[in-house]
Chains A and B, each alone.
Chain A
Amino acid sequence: MSDKIAVQVDDLTVAYNYKPVLWDIDLEIPEGVLMAIVGPNGAGKSTLIKSILGILKPIAGSVSIYGKSYDKQRSLVAYVPQKGSVDWDFPTTALDVVMMGTYGSLGWIKRPRQKQKKAALEALEKVGMLPFKNRQISQLSGGQQQRIFLARALVQDASIYFMDEPFQGVDATTEIAIINILKELRKAGKTVIVVHHDLQTVPEYFDWVTFLNVKKIATGPVKDIFNDDNLTKTYGINYKVSIQE
């Protein structure tokens, strides 16, 4: 972790309809952290990521990536969407999906070539999915699909990674494999931001955490702020009991 701020969010307010889903969020994410975003279903975690990445237009507030707007810095950012956001029956192969990670650097019209294919194969190898490269994506298990999405982000070779529930529906082995990749990214100086639901593993996996429930409850180092007080404030019930059970 360095003193640089990788992602800065100021006064961000987002609404789909009338009711705001995110309210006046201020957030500074230092470079080089492996950060969890935690909060109950519907807390606005996905919405926060989508707003930072310019998928959604906020009602108010601003976002900057290393001090500049997202539009100028998009090559520094990679994204792993929530798995359920796409139709896995789409007629394409695992390799093809991973190749999409190279489309951003290619820009309009230009086709992926050997270089891009090589990068995609390397990413598949990294997530242990090389043997499945020619599989139709609907014939992959949920955990394998998740790894394909991870590989697609890895291929982007970014500085900041946003991942929306990369551990959703994966078994213990895959979870360890994925977290090891994330830790490797951090070691390489990258900033990794992960929406995470399993509170038990937060201290073990992450060094930074943001509590979110429409408003930002707290953000900072796990060892300082990952406590019952913040959990209770975020989830609205007394977490002391449930987490120690």
Chain B
Amino acid sequence: MHSFELVKPKTLADAVAALADGAQALSGGQTLLPTMKQRLADPGTLVSLTGIPELQGVCQGDAGIIIGGATPHAVVAREAAKYYPGLAALAGQIGDPAVRNRGTIGGSIANNDPSACYPAAVLGSGATIVTNTREIAADDYFLGMFETALEEGEIVTAVKFPVPQKAAYAKFVQPASRFALVGAFVAQFADGVRVAITGASNNGVFRWPEAEAALSASFTPEALKGLTLPADDMIADLHGSAEYRAHLCGVMTKRAVMAAG
């Protein structure tokens, strides 16, 4: 690992200031540390976000729930359960217990790994990403594999989730990493259904409009019958071909609908 200096501000303002000079944010470190061990990142200064109370916690807002940017997955799994069980269940499926005790929602969606779980919930819920400078709609936030709308030094301070009537996440794990080989998040709102798929596409998390339309008409697994996704843009690797992933998108979406009940 390259050498760097670690600073641990106590307020968001101090963190923003510290990040101004090209430093990098450190949240749970569950992605950043392994990357740094491979010497793929050389940040100079790391600004830890773990000591800032205003970035922590799950609470109810006017239009749903608000999750602090540095809230660990385990806390979301526990504390969001009463407001938004589908989201809590997803958080409870990320990595393993030790990873969930450190890894955070802000880190996950800032990183936007194409196989990560949270992006599916954020996009599938139509959540809003709150940063130290602005609010970004999920539809405008995820720009492709490891790419987001965040600017240099911009911090995810919270994510606001509208709470759907029903929602569930179905994850098919990649056997080695246990990330999502394909994960489908479906959420039924009063005004329609959203479906977001992670793990499958070369462009990262995406919505599946045909499935959304079909499920909006009838929120049943049968409604998805005959719907397929083209394999063209799907990830192909050791763990599955593009065709396999395209196929799993259908299977997992169906299972998510069944789980949502």
Query: Is A bound to B?
Result: no
- Chain A residues at the B interface, C-beta cutoff of 8 Å: none
- Chain B residues at the A interface, C-beta cutoff of 8 Å: none
